[in-house]
Chain A
C-alpha cells in the first residue's frame, strides 16, 4: 500500500491505497469527490482535469503516490455556500455546457488558464481548452464564457485593490 497525504481543496486528506491507484480513483473512491469524471482514461478527453500545484493535469494519468505532499483543487473547491465561482457562473450564463460531462474538466482547465493569465485572447483560450473534449457545444459558448469570467475576475480584483486602499 502507498500512504498519501495531500491538501485537497484546502483541507489535508490522507489515505492508504494500492500503488496502482490513480489520482482520479483516489479523489472519487476514497475522498468521495466525484466532480472529476472518468472519460477516456488515457489522457485524451480532459473530463478528469484537476489542478495540482497550480497546473491543470489529467488526474487519470497520475498515480496517487505522485501527488503525496502536493496541493489539489477539484471542481468541488470552486463554489462557496454563497455563490458559484465566476467561471462556473459564466459557463451557466452563457449556456457553455449542455450534457455537462466535460464541464468539471473544462472549468478546471479554464481556471488554470485564468490563474496564470487574467486576460487571455481567443487563441490562448482555445489552446487551454484543447485538452477538454466536448461533443455538445462546439466550444464557441465556452470560449465566450471564459472571456466573460476573465472580465468578472479582473473587475473583482480591481475592486479588492480599491477596498484595500480605502
Chain B
C-alpha cells in the first residue's frame, strides 16, 4: 500500500472532530473489508485514515421510541446474533448472513456496506423494503433522511466530506412487518449477488397485500424499489399467482447490465424468481405469527 496517515477515534464525538479537522483528506475506516482492498489498489491514497472501528458508541443495536436503531459499526456477525433483530427484522439477518464469509462478516459493518454503495450490496434491499432511515452527523449537527437518498450511484453516496453515517433506524411502524431477503450468487459463500431482492408487506383484514415494498439490488446503478410491482400487489388477495406476477412486473422495472458475471436477460429472469420467493418467504412469516397467536 502507498503510505497514508492514520489516527484512531475514541468515540463518535472524536470521530466527527477528526473528520472536521481533516476534511476531504480523510477517509473513514470502519470494518476495512472494502477500504483495505481499495487502498491496496490505489496509486493516490487518502491523506489520512480516520479509524472509527473502536468507537463503541457506534456499535449499539437498541430499541427506542423511534424504532430499531442499528449503530453504523454493527458488524454483519453482530446483526446475525442480535436477538432483537431476529425477533423483529429477520430479513436483515438473512441479508447479513449472505455477505462474504465468516471472516468478512466479523469485520464488515452495516454502515460500511451502505457507504461503499456498490449496486450489489446485500444490506441495502431489506433495509429499503423496511423503509429505513439513516442518521448522518458532522461538526455542524445531525440530520436524518431515508436510506434511499443516501444512494447516488455506484460507489457514490450523498455524504459530504466531514459527514459520518452514525446509525440506521427501522421505523417503529415497520418492526415485525413480514419481510424476507433473497440473494442469488454463483456460490453460497464469497460471492457477489447477481441479483438480490427483498419484500415486505402486511396482510390486511381481507387477506390482501397492504403497504407492499419490493427492493432490488445489482440490477440498477443503486438499490431500487419496484413501484409498479408494489402497486400491482396493493389491495390484491395474497395468492401464489399474485406473487409470481409481481416478480414478472418487477423484472420489467429494473435496468440490469450484462457483465462477466451474468447477462441482463439472466438477471431479469432472476428478479422474477427472487421477488416471488421473497414474497412467499415473507408470507410464511405472516402465517407463523398467526399460528403463534392461536393457543
List chain A positions with a Cβ less than 8 A from chain B.
2, 18-20, 22, 41-44, 46, 49, 55-58, 60-63, 65-66, 68, 109, 112-113, 127-128, 130-133
Contacts and interface: CB of A to CB of B under 8 A. Distances in A.
Nearest to A62: B32
Nearest to B77: A55
Interface of A is mostly: mixed
A46 B101 contact: yes
A66 B3 contact: no
Given A20-B39, A56-B102, 16 more contacts: A19-B5, A19-B6, A20-B1, A20-B2, A56-B103, A56-B106, A58-B104, A58-B107, A61-B103, A62-B107, A63-B29, A65-B8, A112-B102, A127-B189, A130-B189, A131-B100
A66 B103 contact: no
A65 B101 contact: no
Contact of A66 (B2, B39, B53): B53
Contacts of B1: 20, 22
B251 interface: no
A43 B37 contact: yes
B38 to A, nearest CB: 10
Contacts of A65: 6, 8, 51
Contacts of A58: 33, 103-104, 107
Nearest to B36: A61
Interface of B: 1-6, 8, 29, 32-33, 36-37, 39-40, 45, 49, 51, 53-54, 77, 100-104, 106-107, 188-190
B203 to A, nearest CB: 31
Nearest to A131: B101
Contacts of A49: 103
Contacts of B4: 19-20
A129 B101 CA distance: 8
Given A20-B2, A42-B37, A43-B37, A57 B190 contact: no
Contacts of B53: 66
A60 B77 CA distance: 19
Contacts of B40: 41-42
A52 B82 CA distance: 20
Contacts of B77: 55
Q: State the 9 A-B residue pairs at the shortest beta-carbon distance, nearest first.
A: A131-B101, A130-B189, A19-B6, A20-B1, A55-B106, A131-B103, A130-B101, A58-B103, A42-B37
A3 B189 CA distance: 35
B102 A63 contact: no
23 contacts: A2-B6, A19-B3, A20-B4, A20-B6, A22-B36, A43-B36, A43-B104, A46-B101, A56-B102, A58-B33, A58-B107, A61-B32, A62-B36, A65-B51, A66-B32, A66-B54, A68-B8, A113-B102, A130-B102, A131-B100, A131-B101, A131-B102, A131-B190
Given A19-B49, A20-B2, A62-B107, A128 B102 contact: yes
A32 B4 CA distance: 24
A66 B29 CA distance: 9
A93 B279 CA distance: 47
B101 A60 contact: no
Contacts of A131: 100-104, 189-190
A43 B102 CA distance: 11
B112 to A, nearest CB: 12
Contact of A109 (B3, B5, B103): B103
Tell which of B8, B49, B54, B101 has the most Cβ of chain A within 10 Å. B101
Contacts of B51: 63, 65-66
Nearest to B41: A42
Nearest to B189: A130
Contacts of A55: 77, 106
A127 to B, nearest CB: 7
Nearest to B106: A55
Nearest to A45: B190
